[in-house]
Each structure stands twice: as C-alpha cells, then as structure tokens.
A and B are shown apart, each in its own frame.
Chain A
C-alpha cells in the first residue's frame, strides 16, 4: 500500500491541483523526493538552494512532526499519511532578515568570552548569535569610530566593515583611541584593523581604504545590516543618509562639535531620516570642523559609545532604540536633552513623493563647489621666502589671523595677532604703506582674511603665507611647535 501525502492549499496548483498524492516510499524524505520529482514546480517552495527543507515547511507523519522523530529519515509504513504544514513566519525588519535557524553557533571560546551577555535575558544566546551574524559598516575610524569599533568588536559583532582613507596623524591621538603613538603615519584602517583584531580575533574585519563617494556608497552599503555614521563633514553625512535610505539600512548617527554631541537612529522604513531633521545643510563655513573649531577629546568617546549601544540594540531587535529621537549632549554643562523627531511626509528622500532617487553630488549640495570667484589671484609666499624677506626688508609686516589660544601655542617671531573674525573691523591697525604677509595655521584662513580685506577696500599689498605656521615649522624653524 502506498503512502498518502496531503498537499496544503497554496501548493496544490503545483501538484496538478491534487489535494493528496500517493507515492511508494520507505521514509518521509524519500516520499518527498518522489513527490518533487513528479511535480518539480513544488520543489523550490519546499526546499531551499542548499537542498534542505525550508525551515518553515513542516512535515508530519501521522500527527508527529518529523523534526522530533528522525527527520527526513523517519520511516513511513504503508497506509500512513504525510502532511505538509507550513508554519508561518513574518517580520518587519530588514536588518535581521536572516533566519533564526541559520544564525551561526557559538564556539566554546565565544561562550566564555560573551558570558556576561549570555546571562542577560535581553541578549541571551539568540542575541549573541545575532551579533555574530551581524554585518556593521562603520564610516570613519576617527573620534567616533574609535570607541564604536572597540565596543562593537568586543561585543562580538561578527563582521565589521571599516572605511577610511586617512593616515594616523599626531593631533588625532587626543581622541582617536583606536590608534596609538606607534601607528603615526600608518593608514587608519590598518591601525584600526590591528587593534580591533587584538580585542576580538573572532570578529571579521573588512577594511576599505577609500573615500566614501556617490559612486561606491550603494555598492558598499548593500552587503551590510547596519550603517554607523562617524563622519566629520556635511557632504559625507548627507551621502551616508541618502545611501542608507536608498538601500533600506538603519543609519546610526553621531556628531560632535567642541563640547556638544548629537546621536540618533535614522531609519526611513520606521521613522525619520537625517533629511527629515535637516533638509538643508548649513551654509558652508558656518559650522567649523574639529580641525578648525576644536573638540574635547572625551566627547567623541561618549557619543561614539552611545552609537555602539544603539547599533547593538538594532541588531538585537530591541525596543527603545533612539528612533525618532535626537539626543543632545553637552559635555561642558553635563546635560542630556531629547528632541522628538517625526518623519517628514515631504522629505525629499524618504517622504511620500521623494524627488531624490539616486545619489547626488554632495559637495555641490553642501555649497562647497561654488564657482570660483573671478578676481585677481592674490600673491603667495613660501615659508623659506618669508624668512628671507623678514630678515632683509624692514617694510614687511606679518599678520597672524589665528585665534589667541593658537597664538599662545606657537607663533612666528614678529607676527601680530588679529583674529580672522576681527580682521575687517581692525584693518586700520594694518599699515597699508607696508607689504603685509598674512598667516594662519595652514593657509586657508589667511586666504579668507585677504579676500575679506580686499572686499572691504583695503589698499595695501597683501601676500598669503602658503602652508601657514605649519610650513614655517617644517621648513624654517622646527622648534616652533606644530599642533
């Protein structure tokens, strides 16, 4: 007597519209093989690409699930009935779309390493396996990326992608604790990868020594579950946001400025994105970078660990992630504040009628690609030439447009301080009858000062010191400290 297989309604049309089919077989697996050989269209719905039964397909022999018997080897006797019953699973997040049964197992070393997580009911074994399964992409291995990476690796995130194109420089070490003094001059991704691998050899590091651009962002993002924004500039921040929205990834955001930090989870599928909060970037130059404005070294440590915390919660599927909330932190006053965010229905990228459907030119969007102003280029001078004319020409004066704190750190002998912000108001202090060399730290602010003075009608001859006091220290007098 043959075996009877009952076909569930959704699969009947792939089985000749039969509600039951009879086959000769000795085991449940053999019966299903015969069924799917005869009705090959059934196959892809019952078996996955690895040729094992899909995890939501349950096979019953009599009224017992074969999972609790002998699996596909479960013997079947003539006259018995096999039922195919789907269990039904669904869910709304993309980040943990991989199936629970496919989560990687922990090794005995990992059980020991993560024991403090394993005994937390909120993490537990399944949560730790989710962490091991997770792929997190960190943009930047600087101030925010340092604590982020250290904690994510320590927590057992399975794969960490790191993107950076910079090399470790001395001023980084005040806050970028993933890098050490011995790493000066090394690519940041190499230095970061070594440190992360030392913290947790189980974590797979995928390092991308590149600048994130509109050309590579979508391709890079698509293979990761969570994106973490540790960037320090607006064009990249908008690029990270837009690429996250377009690829449907959560974007765990953090930013820092002097003593103040911000953090949020932007996730267009579930709530607001960065553009819902800030549709437009600030005018160029309004918000200085860390290099220009300074930053308290411990601040990115705090904000970056908040980001790490939220990344882990997103992976675990926790409630109470920083979604639709903007956290504001002031390290000087030591206050935390929260602002409620809402998805903006007219958001150009995640609203009801999005106008941005692909990545754009973010430098241009942020106003950093303004047409070059048609005016006479001003004169320039190198540090070595400056030394010569200062020695030989008494009619040359040197104006330093940096801030007083910088002037106290280092100065070129004979330089007079007039900070950039005061230069126009105090132009009468500059003798227009003499040649004026203008100087700052690297040559950018001094160029702005010259442009501002010319616009304000200053008549004297103005020359920009290329490379600023840094070039002076490099090429003329190494005893002048670099900062």
Chain B
C-alpha cells in the first residue's frame, strides 16, 4: 500500500499536464513502514531523453543520486518514482517492466488530450515477472501549525 496524499497526487498531475505531450517524471521521497510506504514529497526530475519524449522518459543517475542525497539529509528514503503516460493508460508497459526495480512504488499518471485522468501505483514482483497494482491511500495532508 502506498500512502500518497491528495495534495501530492495533485502535484504529480500538475507536473504531468505541464509537460504534456511529453513524459515527465520524478522521485517519491518518504518512509518505508511495515507493509506500506508513505510519500512526503515529490522530487521532479528533468526528462533527459532528447527523442521520443512523448512516450519515453529517462532520469539520469546523477539526478537520481541527487534525490537520494536530498532524502538522506532529512533522514528519509526514496520510496518510488512517478512518471506520466501521455495519451495512454496509467498501466505499466513492458518497457517499464524491463527497467523497474523491486520494492519501489511506480506511480503512473495518465494524461489524455492534456487532462490528467488517472493516477495509479504499481509494484514489481520480486521475480520481475509483472507489476501488481498497489492501493493508493489518499487523505488530506494535515499540517500542524504550531
């Protein structure tokens, strides 16, 4: 299960619509709990692909490393990664599977004709055979303002 608050879903949707018709992506920073992951922040990363940007994304290792280091400063973890599928469903492709790591959450935002219509989360099986959909637990982020 992935705890991803409404506000963060909106961040992901906004990023996906902003970069439409190109794919966008970023890291999800938060905490691993027992049987669940919780996202505290999104960490947008520039799509490094110069071709096929409408259906391909590449986040360079140096940028992923930047996210890892950023997380470490706040004693947090990278718990997953999000990307958009312009004019395609929020379902991982074979290409996604070929490039996936286990444990992480793969959040996909489907943008059809410039509107973000769907956000779903997936986790790859440890045998790399397929993704399983993961429940997104949404809630409004409550800020303690003291």
Contact between chains at A87 and B61 (CB < 8 Å): yes
Inter-chain contact A9/B99, CB cutoff 8 Å: no
Interface check A319, CB cutoff 8 A: yes
B-contacting residues, A1-60, CB 8 Å: 8-11, 13-14, 41, 44-45, 54, 56, 58, 60
Q: Which of A9, A13, A126 neighbours the largest number of chain B CB atoms within 10 Å of its CB?
A: A9
A105 within 8 Å of B (CB atoms): no
Mark contacts of A289-318 with chain B using CB atoms, 8 A cut-off: 1 yes-contact digit, 0 otherwise.
000000000000000000000000000010
Taking CB atoms, residues of chain A closer than 8 Å to B104 are 9-10
Interface pair B55/A92, CB less than 8 Å apart = yes
* A91 near B102: Cβ-Cβ < 8 Å: no
A182 at the interface (CB under 8 A from B): no
**Chain B residues whose CB sits within 8 angstroms of the CB of A60 once the complex forms:** 61, 65
Partner of B126, one of A41, A58, A270: A41
A92 with B23: in contact, given A9-B79, A99-B98, A269-B89 (CB under 8 Å)? yes
A235 interface residue, CB < 8 Å from B?
A: no
**Interface residue A201 (Cβ < 8 Å from any Cβ of B):** no
Alpha-carbon gap, A41 to B102, bound state (A): 11
- Cβ-defined contact, A85 with B54, below 8 A: no
With A9-B79, A87-B59 as known contacts, state yes or no: A92 contacts B99, CB within 8 Å.
no
Per-position 1/0 for B108-136, Cβ under 8 A of A: 10000000000000000011100000000
Bound form: Cα–Cα A84–B93 in Å: 24
Q: Does B103 contact A (CB under 8 A)?
A: yes
Q: Judge if A166 is at the interface, Cβ distance under 8 Å.
A: no
User: Which of B32, B87, B94 is the one whose CB lies under 8 Å from A9?
Assistant: B32
Chain A interface residue count, CB cutoff 8 Å, equals 36
What distance in Å separates the Cβ of B32 from its nearest Cβ neighbour in chain A? 7
Chain B residues, Cβ within 8 Å of A11: 101-103
The reply to whether A93 and B61 form a contact with Cβ atoms under 8 Å apart is no
Interface residues of B in 78-95 (CB under 8 A from A): 78-79, 81, 83, 85-89, 92-95
Identify which of B61, B64, B88, B106 contacts A92 (C-beta below 8 A): B88
Contact B128 A91 (CB under 8 A): no
Cβ contact within 8 Å between B88 and A87: no
User: Between A and B, how many residue pairs show CB distances below 8 Å?
Assistant: 123
How big is the B interface, by class?
35 or more
A127 to B50, CA, bound (A): 13
* Cβ < 8 Å to A, chain B residues 25-45: 25, 27, 32, 45
Given known pairs A92-B23, A97-B94, the reply for A87 and B58 (CB within 8 Å) is yes
Most buried by A among B32, B51, B60, B96: B51
Q: Would you call A206 an interface residue if the criterion is a C-beta within 8 Å of the partner chain's C-beta atoms?
A: no
- Contact partner of A87 among B52, B64, B96, CB < 8 A? B64
Residues in B with CB closer than 8 Å to A14 are: 102, 126
Which of A11, A65, A270: most chain B CB closer than 10 A?
Answer: A270
CB distance A88 to B81 under 8 Å?
yes
> B21 — which chain A residues lie within 8 A by C-beta?
319
Q: How far is the CA of A286 from the CA of B59 in the complex (A)?
A: 55
Interface string of B67-84 (1 = CB under 8 A from A): 010000000011101010
Cα A90 to Cα B25 with chains together (Å): 9
Are B99 and A90 touching (Cβ within 8 A)?
yes
| Contact of A90 with B83 in the complex, beta carbons under 8 Å | yes
**B95 in contact with A91 (CB, 8 Å):** yes
Chain B residues, Cβ within 8 Å of A87:
58-61, 64
The interface residues of chain A lying within 8 Å CB-to-CB of B65 are 60, 83, 85
> A319 and B54: CB pair below 8 A?
yes
B12 contacts A by Cβ under 8 Å:
no
Which of A10, A45, A89, A319 contacts B57 (CB under 8 A)? A89
A222-245 toward B: CB 8 Å interface, digit per residue (1/0)?
000000000000000000000000
Q: Is there an interface contact between B88 and A270, defined as CB atoms closer than 8 Å?
A: yes
Q: Are A45's CB and B77's CB within 8 A?
A: no
Which of A10, A56, A96, A269 sits near B102, CB closer than 8 Å? Answer: A10
Q: Are the C-beta atoms of B55 and A9 separated by less than 8 Å? A: no
Type the 1/0 row for A144-187, where 1 means its CB is closer than 8 Å to any CB of B.
Answer: 00000000000000000000000000000000000000000000
In the complex, what's the smallest C-beta–C-beta distance from B116 to chain A, in angstroms?
Answer: 14
Most buried by B among A11, A54, A85: A85
Closest to A59 in B: B61
- Is A284 located at the chain interface by the 8 A CB criterion? no
Known: A9-B78, A90-B93. 4 other contacts (CB 8 A): A14-B126, A58-B61, A89-B99, A90-B96
5 closest Cβ contacts across the A-B interface?
A92-B88, A92-B85, A88-B59, A97-B94, A10-B103
Hey, which bits of chain A sit against chain B, CB under 8 A?
8-11, 13-14, 41, 44-45, 54, 56, 58, 60, 65, 83, 85-94, 96-97, 99, 124, 126-127, 269-271, 317, 319
